[in-house]
Amino acid sequence: FVLVSIVALLIAYFIIHRVFVHRRTFNGTTKLYGKTVIVTGGNTGIGKATAAAMATRGARVILACRSKQRAEEAVGDLIQETGNDGIIFMQLDLASLKSVRAFAENFLKSESRLDLLINNAALASPGYTEDGLGMILGVNHIGPFLLTDLLLDRLKECAPSRVVNVSSCGHDLGTIDFDCITTHKRLALGSSDADLFKAYTHSKLCNVLFTHELAKRLKGTSVTCYSLHPGSVRSELGRDINEWHTRIIKAFVSKLGATDTVSGAQTTLYCALQEDIEHLSGRYFSDCQLVQVKPEARDDGISKKLWEISEKLSGMA
């Protein structure tokens, strides 16, 4: 039954949006010499492809990752691939608010600029963070929320600058249960793979709402922000879901035309580098173009309430 539920959700996920092939590419020629970019989860998948594109354009790139070994291997790969030796690893575990604060402190002490913050890392794992948050809520929303807040002053100092939040068209299947968040510090109850998938879609809605509210709070600062759907991409997102289920999901997604991570990074690059989209701050993009989100995802009251709860859960309030 669990497997049937997952497949049914995936069918809805893809059919509703017709995300069979990622067609558009970002063709901008923006150079980033003298600029600094943070990419969370930059050691693998879309994050690594994004980091490579930034480094190729001359940026100093910070891979903000949990695994030191995997990140350092990625740094070596990227330097060899791009010829840019300005790529470094900094420890960041989004499942630990202490780690998020330590990363921000270390970054602000050692780096003088921040021009692009790309909140790319995400997971679909069970369990809780060390702060008692549901793992998906903590890593996919609260961690990036706190990280962004701690780095906002530096982004403002280096403006014009941008924040890019990698969401998913799965946010259309998500909803925000504030009672569940405040009572259980989770986005959804249950621990089955189907429950994890639902919690993941809720977290992606959080990303869109966070971006919507952040844009309102950044008016007049020359810091802009965007959320996006990267396309159906073969990545390690489901690595913590039951292995057999993951194999079936990967096979199913591949039949629907899942793209490679370089193609999957194109909308991230568009939101980070496309010229003359500052007036679209707070909006959502897919396939390198503006997409209208459902009413719940752009509701001022919901986004404000989510922000206030997120402040409390992250220890900001």
Active centre residues (catalytic) = 200
- Asked if residue 164 lies in contact with residue 272, where contact means CB atoms within 8 angstroms, the answer is yes
Which pair of structure tokens corresponds to residue 198? 């639902």
Cα separation, 214 vs 207, in Å, equals: 10
Q: Residue 229: exposed, middle, or buried by beta-carbon count in 10 A (0-12, 13-18, 19+)? A: buried
Residue that has been written with the tokens 């950044």 in this structure: 218
Cα separation, 50 vs 56, in Å, equals: 10
CA angle 266, 268, 269 (to 5 degrees): 65
Cα separation, 90 vs 63, in Å, equals: 6
DSSP 219: T
Between strands 60-65 and 36-40, the pairing is parallel
Query: Which 3 state secondary structure label does DSSP give 115?
Result: coil
Query: Which 3 state secondary structure label does DSSP give 316?
Result: coil
- Asked if residue 301 lies in contact with residue 307, where contact means CB atoms within 8 angstroms, the answer is no
Task: Identify the helix (H) or strand (E) that includes residue 89.
Answer: strand 87-91
Query: Which 3 state secondary structure label does DSSP give 227?
Result: strand
Task: Count CB atoms within 10 A of the CB of residue 276.
Answer: 6
Task: Count CB atoms within 10 A of the CB of residue 260.
Answer: 14
- Asked if residue 262 lies in contact with residue 48, where contact means CB atoms within 8 angstroms, the answer is no
